[in-house]
């Protein structure tokens, strides 16, 4: 309950509940305090669900894999290479078998650097110049609209009373009345295999 002392009427708004915003589950995403016919709004606890990757760790993993590959006997004379352009990695070598060996090497370095393999998309093998094989590897970031709908549905069905979620670009914002409720949603999402790496950021209490 907000007392009159220290209250600034200029920061309150008339109590028009029809125009107040509501979340997906019908829960008002703002708390309300009534004072002399006015309603003061304040944000409820929330956090953002994102899917991102540490670009520096990605670069470190690729560099380490490239260095190890040049030193290994089983790759000598294969003209194998790993080139990175932002979030796209190109593997080039003499055969599909060697490309698979490069994949194993890369995955080992990704895991060692604390990167999730869920966001890695391995393309098809393609014939390249000089009787070589090329494979494109794409590192996916951001939550797609389809995946966001899946996450919102899961939260609506299992997130508990008073929890709401909303897609905002390539991330999802979750709002609840209590900190413990939000932590329960985090635990729920960690326990589900959604096919993409998820991180929880911007926790607001």
| Domains of the chain and CATH, by start | 55-139 (3.30.70.990)
CA 85 to CA 99: how far, in whole Å? 18
Triad 45, 48, 49: Cα angle to 5°: 135
Q: For position 145, what pLDDT does the model report?
A: 95
- Tell me the pLDDT tens digit for each residue of 56-95: 999 999 999 999 999 999 999 888 999 999 999 999 999 9
Q: For position 38, what pLDDT does the model report?
A: 52
Q: What is the dihedral of CA 94, 121, 63, 82, to 10 degrees?
A: 20
Q: For position 106, what pLDDT does the model report?
A: 96
Average pLDDT over residues 168-185: 94
What Cα–Cα distance (Å) separates residue 139 from each residue in 36, 49, 59, 110, 136?
55, 18, 12, 11, 10
pLDDT tier for residue 15 given thresholds of 50, 70 and 90:
very low
Q: Is the pTM of this model over 0.85?
A: no
């Amino acid at each position: 309950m907000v007392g009159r002392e220290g209250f600034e009427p200029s920061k309150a708004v008339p109590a028009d509940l029809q125009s107040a915003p509501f979340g997906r589950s019908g829960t008002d995403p703002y708390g309300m305090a009534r004072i002399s016919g006015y309603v003061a709004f304040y944000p409820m606890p929330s956090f953002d669900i994102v899917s991102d990757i540490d670009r520096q760790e990605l670069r470190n993993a690729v560099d380490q894999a490239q260095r190890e590959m040049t030193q290994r006997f089983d790759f000598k004379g294969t003209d194998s290479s790993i080139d990175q352009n932002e979030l796209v990695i190109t593997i080039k070598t003499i055969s599909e078998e060697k490309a698979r060996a490069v994949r194993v090497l890369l995955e080992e370095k990704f895991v060692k650097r604390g990167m999730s393999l869920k966001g890695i998309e391995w393309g098809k093998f393609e014939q390249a110049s000089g009787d070589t094989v090329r494979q494109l590897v794409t590192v996916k970031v951001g939550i797609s609209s389809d995946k966001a709908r899946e996450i919102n549905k899961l939260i609506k069905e299992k997130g508990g009373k008073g929890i709401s979620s909303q897609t905002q670009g390539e991330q999802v914002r979750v709002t609840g009345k209590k900190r413990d409720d939000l932590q329960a949603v985090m635990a729920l999402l960690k326990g589900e295999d959604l096919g993409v790496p998820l991180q929880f950021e911007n926790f607001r209490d």
